[in-house]
A = this chain, B = another copy of it.
Amino acid sequence: MPAPPVGVVGLGQLGGSLAAALVAAGRPVQGWDVDPAARDAAAARGVQITRELSGVVVLAVPLTAMAGALDGLTIDPDATVTDLGSVKRPVLESVGRTLGGRYVGGHPMCGTERSGHAAVDPGLFTGARWALCLEPDTELPRWLRVAEVAMAAGAEVVPVTATEHDDAVAAISHVSHLLAAALAAAAAQAGPLALALAAGSFRDGTRVIGSDPAFVRAMVEGNAGPTASALARVHQQLARPWAELVADGHAVVTRQGGRRTVRVPLDRAALLSLGRAGGAVTHRLAAFVEGWVPEDRAPEDRLPDRA
């Protein structure tokens, strides 16, 4: 069976980059954007501009626009719909409720503080992790179809549930945005001398809050519970003796770990187990997928048994 076409709704940084990467990989790509300039830029990269989409339809619009993303478009009744939103439970409860088993939530862990079609980069997904939701009622063949799109764009697929995803990204992304904002705002409170002396550590620590505030707000408010829990863990860490905290933080960021290749059956529990172990899927083969787990986490030729 040939690969189904991919229809990308929203041709800004993420959607436009995905469309460009898939065109480069030889996949037929359709697309639509409410902005004519974004449509023209995508058409120039080989995307067929149309309001009639089929195959795998990718919603690459801001979280606040997700529920209405398909308004005015004609979608094939058998199409599989996925999205690139940075929070998964709210999209599962809105788009997912309408589409049922045809919806597979996704979130590529890339993008920069830039946005819009001028920031399109066909290499954006190369080597990135792409979280892809496997809920109890997700149809596995549709999940695999979306996984193949992500892998065709150069990403590695991390099987997760929406709940696991939202907890994880609260810890590594949403809290990062709040810490960056607090660091910047507290430095401004300290006065102009402090801001004048700001250098590398301040620039790195605040960079992510240069992102569009409406986007950041939709993300943290759309994932309020997990973000509050993750922030509570950060507060606990900050209450520890500084010497211990510094040593532990240093160990986390300098950890070097190998990868062990594993084969995973086409089975929800096994796939989710791979994701929980910190691994990812890199290839689809006939009756299984191939992927990897961190070397220190799985005994040879076995998947971790924590599913």
Listed residue (A185, A193, A278, A294) with the most chain B CB atoms within 10 angstroms of its CB: A193
- Other CB < 8 Å A-B pairs besides A165-B197, A176-B205, 10 of them? A109-B197, A176-B201, A179-B238, A181-B245, A196-B275, A204-B204, A206-B249, A210-B253, A216-B250, A221-B242
- Please tell me which one of the listed residues B110, B188, B193, B238 contacts residue A164 in the complex, with CB atoms under 8 A apart: B193
State the Cβ distance, A264 to closest chain B Cβ, in Å. 15
State the A residues within 8 Å of B (CB). Answer: 109-112, 128-129, 131, 158, 160, 164-165, 167-173, 175-202, 204-211, 213, 216-217, 220-221, 230-231, 233-238, 242-243, 245-250, 252-254, 275-280, 294, 297
For A245, the chain B residues whose CB sits under 8 A away are: 178, 181-182, 185
Q: Are A216 and B129 in contact (CB under 8 A)?
A: no
For A231, the chain B residues whose CB sits under 8 A away are: 238
Q: Are A233 and B189 in contact (CB under 8 A)?
A: yes
State the Cβ distance, A184 to closest chain B Cβ, in Å. 4
Given contacts A233-B186, A247-B213, A252-B188, contact A111 B168 (CB under 8 A): no
